[in-house]
Copies of this chain bind each other. A is one copy, B any other.
Amino acid sequence: MLAVTVGTPLLQAEQACSLFKALADPIRLQVVEVLSSGERCVCDLGADLGLAQSRLSFHLKVLKQAGLLQDRQQGRWTYYSLRPLALQQLSGWILQRIEHAAKPAAPCG
């Protein structure tokens, strides 16, 4: 068996599910895409994505609660960035599903 990831703790299905739920929204995916080029403050995110403030705040909260984002407060501004470990773990969970997926079923009847 080939280890897919190195030194990354493995995810339970339940944790994976939380991460998938957090990513299962087009707006949150845009947020992740923007943040994938580096940290941003909320006001920049709102401007970039053209979102009402409360709407963006809602989605940031979902992503943060899932563990996908971290935030840092500096003066009046809050900066969000990705948590690479969470992404890495989720990717690991997915890749693990592939290994024996090709095994054909025993005929049922």
Partner among B21, B41, B94, B104 whose Cβ is within 8 Å of the Cβ of A105: B41
Asked if A74 and B107 make an inter-chain contact with CB atoms under 8 angstroms apart, the answer reads: yes
A24 proximal to B (CB < 8 A): yes
Cα A13 to Cα B24 with chains together (Å): 11
Q: Would you call A64 an interface residue if the criterion is a C-beta within 8 Å of the partner chain's C-beta atoms?
A: no
Q: Closest residue of chain B to A32, judged by CB?
A: B97
Within 8 Å CB of A41, what residues of B? Answer: 105, 108
A103 beta carbon closer than 8 Å to chain B: yes
**Interface size of A in residues (CB-CB distance below 8 Å):** 50
Supply 29 A–B pairs (Cβ within 8 Å), ascending by A. Answer: A13-B30, A13-B33, A16-B23, A16-B29, A17-B24, A17-B29, A20-B20, A20-B24, A21-B24, A36-B99, A36-B100, A36-B101, A37-B101, A37-B103, A38-B104, A39-B105, A74-B107, A76-B109, A77-B108, A79-B108, A81-B101, A81-B105, A82-B97, A82-B98, A84-B101, A87-B95, A88-B98, A90-B94, A91-B91
